[in-house]
Amino acid sequence: MAEGQEGGGPLSPARPLDAIDQDILRMLQADGRASVRSVAERVHVSRANAYARINRLVEDGVIRGFGARVDHERAGHGTSAYITLKIVQNTWRTVREQLRQLPGASHIALVGGDFDVLLLVHTPDNRALRELVLTRLQAIPEVQSTRTLLVFEEEDLEPQG
């Protein structure tokens, strides 16, 4: 079930990706600041073709945006945790909107299994994490229970390429 982009309508079905599109994606995942010229050279197409392909990938919702990979500890958010939530049935959309507003929320997923939602947060310290869980999360009426898994060490995996 595909949902629309922020503030937009539903996405149309994505067109099939060929080998050049896949190469462009790998390249932009490794370096989101790569110029169209360098992308074109690496995948052996014209700059106009590379530009058109990148725009199509964005328009189709395949590329959701461009950003920086952050070292959260160096950025002043040295405490990370995965928080599992059990929520009232059929309240996912309401809960998701409230979770998006949480400071330090980095990833939200609706999952199947022993819990309903998996939330990744980055906070300055344990005190801020405790405040987030005990005051903010547990105050959401649709949240039935939480479990916090403190992250001791983490590593973002680089795209295979």
Listing DSSP states for 48-76 in one string gives: HHHHHHHHHHHHTTSS--------TTTTT
Q: What is the pLDDT of residue 157?
A: 77
Mean confidence (pLDDT) of the chain: 89
The band of 118, judged by pLDDT with boundaries at 50, 70 and 90, is very high
pLDDT of 2 strictly over 50: no
Return the bridge partners of 79, or none. 123
- CA–CA dist 5, 95 (Å, integer): 18
